[in-house]
Amino acid sequence: MKKSFFMLLILLLCIASVVVGIMLLRKESARPRMSALDRLASTFERRFAKFEPRRGPSVGLVRIFGAITFTESQGMFEAYPRGALRTIRAIRQLRENPSVKAIVIEINSPGGTVGSVQEICHEIKMAQKAGKKVIASVADMAFSGGYYIASACDKIVANPGSLTGSIGVIIVGADLQKLFDIIGIKFNVLKSGEHKDILAYWRDMTDEERNLLQTLVMDCYQQFVTAVSEGRNIPIEKLLPLADGRIFSGTQALDNQLIDSLGTLDDAINLAAELAEIKGKPSIIRPTIEPFERFFKFIDAKFGKTPSLKDMVMGECDSPIQYRANIGSAQAAFAYPTNSQQ
């Protein structure tokens, strides 16, 4: 009875949300060049803008926690970008806010896919071109793609025990052929080209495929090293000995010029205010979660799909094992391959 009541309540809230969304979208239909997502989001922003207090010179805070990927919004959650899109939108909003003079990006990530990391870096550069100072603050970790993003910022602040670095690229694929042979599973594959099933989990890769993937890895690696060299102003010949995938503590990273100073998130905020020449204590614009978004995040956590063994092996869910390349989706991963704990 209690479960039925909660399910009915959820259904009614979903229906009400659909009705409100349709009404808002119809009212904004005179602007055809905007996507439905942008129309709905901008309408909410205009409706609630009058309740936002006027601010003086401010420092905006953006958080990048967990694996960095483009994550699809689904169902009733469509109005709220997820994953890298959420980060990009947050930086863009702060860039377009005239009261924001600096942005602090708090990073606690093991890395992510190449495309999502590079798009976030592009948005950081756009903020810098708009005159905003951008500071990275490393929490527990900023591995690989997380460090790639940090290196695009004007300054990097990390705790002495923060872990960072892991400059490199990794592609991981499972080879389950022997297991399938024991079980008696056989795959019939029809493909348009020799390498269409490259990195397939039902067979071992050939030497030619291994060379192709190694070439891909080294191309992405060269992009990574070049970006860090330019962002940190470190000559490539000096950076290469450090860019073999190894990780550094905050103190080690400082000794190797991979970060600028040791400190906490508050230290990073104060540094951002100082660089932006903000007098006195700056106003902080922190990430907020809308009521509807909070509700749907709860629904996702409560009734979301539980990862199966197949999901975790094949990387078809948001799981730590997915910090790797997905060649079928043309993605390579700037990622550290294991979860690090201290």
Q: What is the pLDDT of residues 52-83, one digit of tens each?
A: 455 678 999 999 998 898 876 554 445 556 78
Catalytic residue of the set 196, 261, 305, 308: 196
Q: 153 CB contacts (<8 Å, ≥6 apart)?
A: 105, 124, 134, 135, 136, 231
Predicted pLDDT at 331: 47
Rounded to whole angstroms, how far apart are CA atoms 140 and 157? 12
Provide the b/e sequence for 136-170 (b: ≥16 CB within 10 Å). Answer: bbbbbbbbbbbbbbbbbbbbbbbbeebbbbbbbbb
**Burial of residue 265, with CB atoms counted within 10 A of its CB: 0-12 exposed, 13-18 middle, 19 or more buried:** middle
C-beta separation of 213 from 188 below 8 A: no
Catalytic residue of the set 58, 116, 137, 144: 144
Rounded to whole angstroms, how far apart are CA atoms 256 and 250? 10
Predicted pLDDT at 154: 96
**Burial of residue 7, with CB atoms counted within 10 A of its CB: 0-12 exposed, 13-18 middle, 19 or more buried:** exposed
Range of the domain at 72: 55-335
Residue 100 belongs to some domain of the structure: yes
Residue 141 belongs to some domain of the structure: yes
pTM for the whole structure:
0.73
198, pLDDT greater than 90: no
Q: What is the CATH number of the domain that holds 183?
A: 3.90.226.10
| Tokens found for residue 338 | 């294991």
Residue 171 belongs to some domain of the structure: yes
Query: What is the number of structural domains in the chain?
Result: 1
User: Band of the pLDDT at 314, cuts 50, 70, 90?
Assistant: very low
Residue type for 329, please?
Answer: S
Across the chain, what does the average pLDDT equal?
78
Residue 28 belongs to some domain of the structure: no
Residue 10 belongs to some domain of the structure: no
User: Band of the pLDDT at 281, cuts 50, 70, 90?
Assistant: confident
Residue with tokens 């959650």: 77
Mean pLDDT of 267-296: 79
Predicted pLDDT at 12: 73
Rounded to whole angstroms, how far apart are CA atoms 291 and 297? 10
125 in catalytic set:
no
Residue 296 belongs to some domain of the structure: yes
Which of 15-19, 37-41, 177-181, 234-238 is most confident? 234-238
Rounded to whole angstroms, how far apart are CA atoms 202 and 62? 41
116 in catalytic set:
no
Predicted pLDDT at 50: 42
- Alpha helical stretches, state H, the chain: 2-27, 36-49, 83-96, 114-129, 145-151, 177-183, 207-232, 236-239, 250-255, 265-275, 291-303, 309-314
CA torsion sign for 158, 93, 47, 292 is negative
